């Protein structure tokens, strides 16, 4: 939904009625993940996508019906649904959508204050982590609760205990950067008994952009910065050599820092989380050993180091001397990247980013360079 705000703001200024359809769940293969959204006006204007084109026409029809009746709808399209198959959902999965009229979510405690939509829009614009919980099934369908770390929640799901439990779970979803449906019993506990009426709550995370720290102002770094920016990372390039770490050499980086790696990590390391990445491209022991020791002290989800297998063997010995244990060494992806035969800086950058994605998504059926033997390059 993040990409829809500019269009939604325009329609809001014009007073145009809008319905919004959000993917809340998928079964099997799905073209878009939970959180994907599409907005539809009463005139049939469309922004966004929920299926990459597969069921968009049918969703427009459902959204127009919602605008006409004012009733929120939880709908699904799957391979066994003749209508959805006819419009192209042939990927074999089922997509669940929650569709509602966007009343700009004005139901907040202080009617004179900013609406929930305003709070969400401002948080996203300022890149603050925020989550919106929406009841999609059960009592109080459509009720919303907005949750930000360190701030009081805005809105209500209709029950104080449910608000408390969902606010806690929403903070967990934010930390992981995940979006999905949770089911709760009457008192807010997780619903496990199928015979007990449960409340379905869709928790949508608007996490801050993940960070990528690249240590080493080398020729591969510029290419990695460019690819990482395409993937949505906020990129910092760090090198202690002032002549190499310049804005001219890395114009696409969000930040270029002239400092020793371990000193930068002392400053920003406590804020790194599972979605963040550290890449050490120096393959020079006096730079990369302190950088890796510092990176291992953080909660970064991916830590990679460039260099040949021989270089990494020497690096491992130095890391052990620095006190790194087997668990720490296992966190380091080295030689960095997937084994796709890349040679150029651009191909190497693709290899590195592919491995970052594989680690983040839990794919174990890909072949990282560190799993092989012999020379990296044939």
pLDDT in tens, 9-54: 999 889 899 999 999 998 876 667 899 999 999 999 999 988 766 6
- Asked if 280 and 291 touch (Cβ cutoff 8 Å), the reply is yes
Among 157-161, 184-188, 191-195, 343-347, the minimum mean pLDDT is found in 191-195
What is the Cα–Cα distance from 179 to 23, expressed in whole angstroms? 10
Q: Which of 58, 57, 71, 63 minimizes the C-alpha distance to 21? A: 63
Query: What is the per-residue pLDDT across 196-208, written as a single tens digit (0 to 9) for each?
Result: 568 999 999 998 8
The H helix count followed by the E strand count for the chain is 11, 16
Q: Show the 3-state SS of 83-103.
A: HHHHCCCCCCCEEEEEEEECC
pLDDT band, residue 55 (cuts 50/70/90): confident
Omega before 261 within 30 of 0, i.e. cis = no
Task: Report the greatest alpha carbon distance in the chain.
Answer: 70
Where in the chain is CATH 3.40.50.720? 211-370
Per the CATH hierarchy, to which homologous superfamily does domain 211-370 belong?
NAD(P)-binding Rossmann-like Domain (3.40.50.720)
Kindly state the helix (H) or strand (E) to which residue 56 belongs, with its residue range.
helix 56-69
Q: What is the pLDDT of residue 111?
A: 54
Question: Any bridge partners for residue 181, and if so which?
Answer: 202
Q: In this structure, what are the phi and psi dihedrals at residue 146, rounded to the nearest 5 degrees?
A: -105, 130
| pLDDT above 80: residue 186 | no
> How high is the pLDDT of residue 192?
44
Cβ atoms of 22 and 1 within 8 Å: the answer is yes
Tell me how far apart the alpha carbons of residues 257 and 41 are, in angstroms, rounded to a whole number: 46
**C-alpha span between 275 and 267 (Å, rounded):** 18
For the chain, the average pLDDT equals: 87
């Amino acid at each position: 939904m993040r990409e829809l705000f500019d269009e939604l703001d325009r329609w809001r200024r014009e007073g145009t009625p809008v319905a919004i359809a959000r993917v809340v769940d998928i079964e099997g293969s799905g073209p878009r993940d939970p959180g994907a959204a599409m907005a539809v006006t009463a005139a049939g204007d469309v922004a966004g996508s929920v299926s990459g084109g597969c069921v968009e026409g049918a969703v427009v029809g459902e959204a127009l019906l919602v605008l006409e009746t004012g009733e929120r709808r939880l709908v699904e399209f799957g391979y066994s649904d003749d209508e959805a198959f006819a419009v192209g959902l042939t990927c074999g999965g089922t997509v669940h959508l929650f569709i509602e009229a966007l009343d700009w979510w004005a139901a907040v405690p202080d009617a004179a204050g900013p609406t929930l939509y305003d709070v969400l829009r401002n948080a996203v614009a300022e890149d603050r982590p925020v989550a919106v919980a929406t009841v999609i099934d059960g009592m109080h369908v459509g009720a919303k609760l907005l949750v930000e770390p360190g701030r009081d929640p805005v809105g209500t799901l209709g029950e104080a205990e449910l608000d408390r439990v969902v606010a806690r779970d929403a903070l967990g979803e934010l930390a992981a950067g995940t979006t999905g449906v949770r089911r709760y019993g009457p008192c807010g506990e997780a619903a496990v008994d199928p015979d007990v009426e449960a409340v379905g709550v869709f928790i949508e995370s608007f996490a801050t952009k993940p960070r990528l720290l690249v240590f080493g102002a080398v020729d591969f770094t510029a290419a990695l910065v460019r690819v990482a920016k395409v993937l949505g990372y906020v990129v910092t390039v760090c090198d202690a050599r002032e002549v190499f770490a310049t804005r001219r050499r890395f114009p696409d980086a969000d930040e270029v820092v002239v400092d020793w790696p371990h000193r930068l990590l002392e400053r920003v390391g406590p804020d790194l989380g599972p979605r963040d990445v550290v890449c050490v491209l120096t393959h020079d022991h006096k730079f990369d050993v302190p950088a890796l020791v510092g990176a291992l002290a953080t909660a970064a989800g991916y830590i990679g180091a460039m260099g040949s297998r021989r270089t990494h063997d020497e690096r491992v010995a130095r890391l052990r001397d620095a006190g790194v244990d087997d668990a720490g060494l296992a966190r380091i992806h080295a030689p960095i990247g997937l084994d796709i035969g890349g040679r150029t800086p651009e191909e190497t950058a693709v290899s590195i980013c592919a491995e970052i994605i594989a680690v983040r998504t839990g794919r174990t059926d890909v072949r990282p360079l560190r799993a092989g033997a012999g020379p990296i390059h044939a």
